[in-house]
Amino acid sequence: MGWVIGVTGGLLLVAFLYWQLIMAEGAYLGRGIVTLLYDWAAHVYDRIKHYDTGYETYFLARPLASALFSFPNPLVLDVAAGTARLSVTLLDEVTFRGRVIALDLSRRMLRHAAQKTARYGDRNRLLWDDASELTFPDDTFEAVSCLEALEFTPDQDQVLREMVRVLRPGGLLLTTNRIGKDARWMPGRTQSSEAMQEKLQALSLEMVRVRPWQEDYDLVWALKPGVCTPLQPRTLTDVLRCPICDASVGPDPKGLRCEHGHLIPIAEDGVVEVVRAL
């Protein structure tokens, strides 16, 4: 009887670990575990996801570029950017004339993103930073995106609030909502399409639209009320703020430095390491 109990306990432990580490990707175990898992998987992440360039272009890059076409110099923030899937497809879209700032908390994911986006120069900048406290002023970006990631953040409502805060009036929010049979295994971190719409409307977003996308995800589009007036082209140093004192930053031989002397390092691969400045 003892061996039966032992085997049963072992199987339950394996099932629990599979749920927590594979299906939920560490979401219930804290930000550190989630980040660690993505760091471990970074070198095979694109192969696991099997991204299709044509599919990504048709459903993501082309609709987003079309929505931003009336803005002469759109600046896009991609939250939880991973290996820069959105940057690559959007910057390859000929009708997109803007820049992308891609942010993630997994440093190894950003290392792979740096290799994939090097050809775009300063049209794509990579930030090692936490999405729960974005280091940008209010009303900064013409578009803010977060794909296949909200349910894995410690506080998705806080991340959504930050995304809306830095979105310009008249700007576009693009995110995803987890659906499908596996969504039921993530209680408290997934919601129905109706609940997602209500959540965004409670943040004062308008024209919330949910569109079918994948077996596990819907795409969610929403608009921040107001008029988005044209601006001159902006680079990272025009919009980034010091994570310590909130002052503006400028170039420094070692990275970026604010007027109070706080340094934000830039690594050899070009990643701006905001986390190291804290």
What pLDDT is stored for residue 139 in this prediction?
97
Inside any domain, residue 203: yes
Q: Does residue 258 share a domain with residue 219?
A: no
Question: What does the pLDDT look like over 139-187, one tens digit per residue?
Answer: 999 999 999 999 999 899 999 999 999 999 999 999 999 998 888 888 8
CATH number at residue 146: 3.40.50.150
What pLDDT is stored for residue 112 in this prediction?
96
Q: Does residue 189 share a domain with residue 114?
A: yes
Inside any domain, residue 219: yes
Q: Does residue 249 share a domain with residue 121?
A: no
Q: Does residue 270 share a domain with residue 202?
A: no
Name the phi and psi angles at 231, rounded to 5: -130, 160
Q: Does residue 133 share a domain with residue 107?
A: yes
Inside any domain, residue 3: no
Question: Tokens in use for 101?
Answer: 């700032």
Question: Tokens in use for 254?
Answer: 């070692």
Q: Does residue 175 share a domain with residue 61?
A: yes
What pLDDT is stored for residue 19 in this prediction?
55
Inside any domain, residue 8: no
Inside any domain, residue 1: no
From 223, 252, 268, the end of a domain falls on: 223
What pLDDT is stored for residue 36 in this prediction?
86
What pLDDT is stored for residue 29 in this prediction?
79
**155: Cβ–Cβ under 8 A, 6 or more apart, which residues?**
132
What pLDDT is stored for residue 185 in this prediction?
81
- Mark the ranges of the chain whose per-residue pLDDT is less than 50: none
Question: What does the pLDDT look like over 109-147, one tens digit per residue?
Answer: 999 999 999 999 999 999 999 999 999 999 999 999 999
What is the secondary structure of 24-86 as a DSSP string? STTGGG-HHHHHHHHHHHGGGHHHHHT--HHHHIIIIIHHHHHHTTTSSS-EEEEET-TTTHH
Inside any domain, residue 155: yes
Q: Does residue 93 share a domain with residue 194?
A: yes
Q: Does residue 219 share a domain with residue 186?
A: yes
β-strands 217-223, 206-212 pairing: antiparallel
Q: Does residue 53 share a domain with residue 168?
A: yes
What pLDDT is stored for residue 99 in this prediction?
97
Number of domains in the chain: 2
Inside any domain, residue 215: yes
- Domain holding 72, by residue range, is 47-223
What pLDDT is stored for residue 269 in this prediction?
96
Inside any domain, residue 55: yes
What pLDDT is stored for residue 225 in this prediction?
96
Name the phi and psi angles at 12, rounded to 5: -65, -40
Q: Does residue 217 share a domain with residue 106?
A: yes
Q: Does residue 133 share a domain with residue 70?
A: yes
What pLDDT is stored for residue 52 in this prediction?
82
Q: Does residue 152 share a domain with residue 265?
A: no
